[in-house]
Amino acid sequence: MTILRAVFLLAVSAPALLAQRARARELGVAPGVFAPGRHNAITDVAGVRVGQVTLTQGDNVRTGVTAILPHAGNLYRDRVPAALHVGNGFGKLLGVTQLRELGELESPILLTCTLCVWKAADAMVEHLLAAPDMQQVRSINVVVGETNDGGLNDIRARPVTADAVRRALTEATDGPVAEGSVGAGTGTVAFGWKGGIGTSSRVLPTRFGGYTIGVLVQSNFGGILQVLGAPVGRELDQYAFRGASNGGADDGDGSIMIVVATDAPLSDRNLERLASRAMLGVSRTGSSASNGSGDYVLAFSTAAEVRRAWDAPRLSTTEIANEQMSALFQAVVEATEEAILNSLFMATTVTGNGRTIEAIPLDRLREVLRRYGVTPP
């Protein structure tokens, strides 16, 4: 079976599978105090687009690519301020030394599997340099993040292709974002259940600026799952260190990639402050950012006031003051928490590479949420 045909068959069966799943809010789980945007997704930030290609082939390939584009133009020519926060640096995040040095993003962000980072980067470079207005470019800094899906995916085969990368970039849209076992989340695992892609957004009230904050995650990490304080992991007997008394090895290792977008006019300095708060949303779900967990947050602003033309002799920007950041901090914590929960609740059971990882059972989850007063009895 070819990859293309496998992807087609997955798409055909997806509606039936997804009908059995639910986003956090459909289960009555609504973290925080701010309201989500129209799609409750990173694409609620105007101009942001997401493209995903799911690769499933035979019994062993379960991986994919997720692309996040800050705007529809040429990012190399019309750059956006950006920043990185490292929660724990056990990962292979490509392109971030220049991003940190210059405080700007000049390419889309790709997410994929660990050993596919360099293939994905090469494919994106080739695609971007082929544009008519890029013929004289001799240096470009592409950003590619990853989590390790080697449990469900034959990661050593490095199955991500240039065509998959090209499709993720060119087919990106600004509408609803597919979640769960799709794209770069096809083979990932979180809290012992099937993880994947999740997204959420928040829109601030007018008195706090009316800005939108969107978050997308690739969840592949461990810990002791809690949902709005309910000890779901313990109640469902699925959590890190569960076998500590008898020599169990599960210590919550894994990784999470987090991409934060906002239309608030922020400098790279305040974007780094915003990115750091996303880790608070991760901790709310029960992670302790273990030794083997690569926990990274990339944040960028799409605001016209802070755009950076590649050949501008000087920059003149208008950004919000430090005193106006607190509501944005709250919003990114809420959206990150909900995006992670969506990645879990929307994920479907996946078998691959000789293993099966079950989706979190929503019926049992509902019982725990009712018992602990998260949702009505």
Provide mean pLDDT across the span 103-110: 98
Provide mean pLDDT across the span 96-114: 98
pLDDT at 20: 86
Provide mean pLDDT across the span 285-304: 95
How far apart are alpha carbons 336 and 314 in whole angstroms?
35
Torsion of CA 153, 154, 160, 161, to 10 degrees: -140
Q: What sign does the dihedral 88-92-98-104 (CA atoms) show?
A: negative
pLDDT at 246: 45
Counting residues of the chain whose pLDDT is more than 70, the rounded percentage is 93
**Whether residue 289 has pLDDT greater than 50:** yes
- Taken in order of first residue, the domains within the chain and their CATH numbers are 34-311+325-371 (3.60.70.12)
Q: Take residue 320 and report the two structure tokens written for it.
A: 């919000």
pLDDT at 19: 54
pLDDT band of residue 316 (cuts 50, 70, 90) is: confident
Phi, psi of 325 (to 5 degrees): -85, -20
Give the active site residues.
255, 293, 295
Residues 6+ apart with CB under 8 A from 67: 50, 51, 52, 108, 109, 110, 111, 165, 168, 169, 172
pLDDT band of residue 330 (cuts 50, 70, 90) is: very high
Provide mean pLDDT across the span 142-157: 98
Residue 180 bridge partners (DSSP):
197
Provide mean pLDDT across the span 26-47: 98
How far apart are alpha carbons 42 and 126 in whole angstroms?
26
Q: What is the pTM of this model?
A: 0.94
Residues 6+ apart with CB under 8 A from 123: 160, 161, 162, 164, 165, 166
pLDDT digit string (tens) for 62-78?
999 999 999 999 999 99
User: For residue 358, how many other CB atoms are within 10 A of its CB?
Assistant: 14
pLDDT at 31: 98
Q: Take residue 159 and report the two structure tokens written for it.
A: 């199955």
Provide mean pLDDT across the span 291-316: 92
How far apart are alpha carbons 239 and 344 in whole angstroms?
14
pLDDT at 207: 97
pLDDT at 244: 57
pLDDT at 5: 38
How far apart are alpha carbons 346 and 63 in whole angstroms?
17
pLDDT band of residue 12 (cuts 50, 70, 90) is: very low
pLDDT digit string (tens) for 230-253?
999 999 999 999 875 544 457 788
Kind and range of the H or E element at 62? strand 61-69
